[in-house]
Amino acid sequence: MLEIQQLRTDLDNVTRKLAKRGYTFPAAAFSSLEAERKTIQTYTQELQAKRNAASKQIGHAKSKGEDTTSILLEVAHLGNELKQSEIQLEQIQIQLQKILLETPNLPHDSVPEGKNETSNQEIRRWESPREFSFEVKDHVSIGEGLGLLDFETAAKLSGARFNLMRGKLARLHRALAQFMLDIHTQEHGYTEVYVPYLINSESLRGTGQLPKFEEDLFSVYTGGKGDSVTQGLDTSTSEQNNQLGKSPNFYLIPTAEVPITNMVRDEIVAIEQLPMKFVANTPCFRSEAGSYGRDTRGLIRQHQFDKVELVHIVHPQQSYEALEQLVSHAEKILQKLVLPYRVMTLCTGDMGFSAAKTYDIEVWLPAQNTYREISSCSNCEAFQARRMQARFRNEAGKPALLHTLNGSGLAVGRTLVAILENYQNADGSVSIPEILQPYMNGLDQLTVSGRE
């Protein structure tokens, strides 16, 4: 959330910066509400002062034994006016808060300007893509050919955009997550955490998913026969709950960023505790609203997928140094797996809602003959911290807002896709990266004969 004082004193500049993101800030509505707020706030303060003065008069008159009837009538009149004025002021504050909650973060000055992904800038590449002497297959054909990837059964169980893995492929998926956690905790200094997969609306509001992106979430309603997981899977049930005036009790996490970052919500952290670095492996649940028709084949865009998430909570002066570190930690996983990738700086029009600056890491997928996102690493500066009231005691001992960062280290399913495609062999088998073989009990290949 933006600092409202910045909007009050530098509205034109803020509006210009938001326009670079493709966001039109409602400046006229904000200015009108602000003018009304000032008027009513001043009037409210005047009424409060009159009431306080009248109360003193009553006390003084009573001490002298004088009649206070006329003063009491005046106080009663002031009380009614004051109550109405306070209600008006509260309603205006709610409207201002709504504008702030729906406004994205300001882009950092170093972010390239652009409308969409075509304006993203490549920073570096690592390794050249492998040249194949045979016709490459995509990960779906490879997994199904091995008898280890089953979308048909997953669709029977849950519907589209789910998957079912068997045998050695399921083990490889698990091995990837374990490998990532080991590297981040043992080499990169992260503290592993296990977090809830069901979270409340306050947590999602804190990191920026609510109120603007509720349609992307799976809502959970509890209580009676209507128990259901909705929003994206069963919209009829969701609509019925909304019509009945029911609010979700919980939401399924779209990413571990939400529960991890909210660990410091409404907290004041000691400066000695900074920086804080956390890692978690969790399933992520997304309705993928607005992405219909995109990546319908395979594991790229699923309603449920696993991700190893990295979160930094840091001193404001260290957040951009932390961003570079965060990206390097995600890159290290791909380097150890020997998977070609490139790093991109996202332009203003392609960044996420809460981000001030974002790097995407894109892994090479031979079957698509292109790089695809496997990690997105963002510095949110104080945007999330202001929504969460997440603070630390600075060098002067005063509370100040923290800076928060997050990134994938990595998306497990997409990493599995990259391994299947980059390590495929002409006979339909898949070689297992050397660094993962100890996690696979020494297994070095996925083969049709080794389905178990």
**Residues within the annotated binding site for L-serine?**
255-257, 286, 309, 406, 408
Short-list 160, 384, 166, 130, CA closest to 257: 384
Q: Please tell me the distance from the alpha carbon of residue 299 to that of residue 161, in angstroms, as a whole number.
A: 8
Query: 158-167: long-range contacts (C-beta < 8 A, 24 or more apart)?
Result: 158/233, 158/303, 159/233, 159/303, 160/296, 161/288, 161/296, 161/301, 161/302, 161/303, 162/302, 162/303, 162/304, 163/299, 163/302, 163/413, 166/451, 167/450, 167/451, 167/452
Separation in Å, CA 368 to CA 124, 148, 228, 297, 421: 20, 21, 37, 12, 10
Dist. CA 434–CA 352, nearest whole Å: 35
Distances (CA, A) of 379 to 193, 294, 356, 364, 385: 21, 27, 6, 25, 12
Taking alpha carbons only, the member of 397, 400, 376 closest to residue 264 is 400
Residue 1's DSSP bridge partners are none
- Identify whether the C-beta of residue 329 lies closer than 8 Å to the C-beta of residue 309: no
Contact 163, 151 (CB under 8 A): yes
Q: For Cα atoms 225, 230, 236, give the angle at the middle one, nearest 5 degrees.
A: 80
- Strands of the sheet containing 219-221, edge to edge, are 198-199, 250-252, 219-221, 228-230
Cβ–Cβ < 8 Å for 257, 242: no
Binding residues for ATP: 286-288, 373-376
Known binding residues are 255-257, 286-288, 309, 373-376, 406, 408
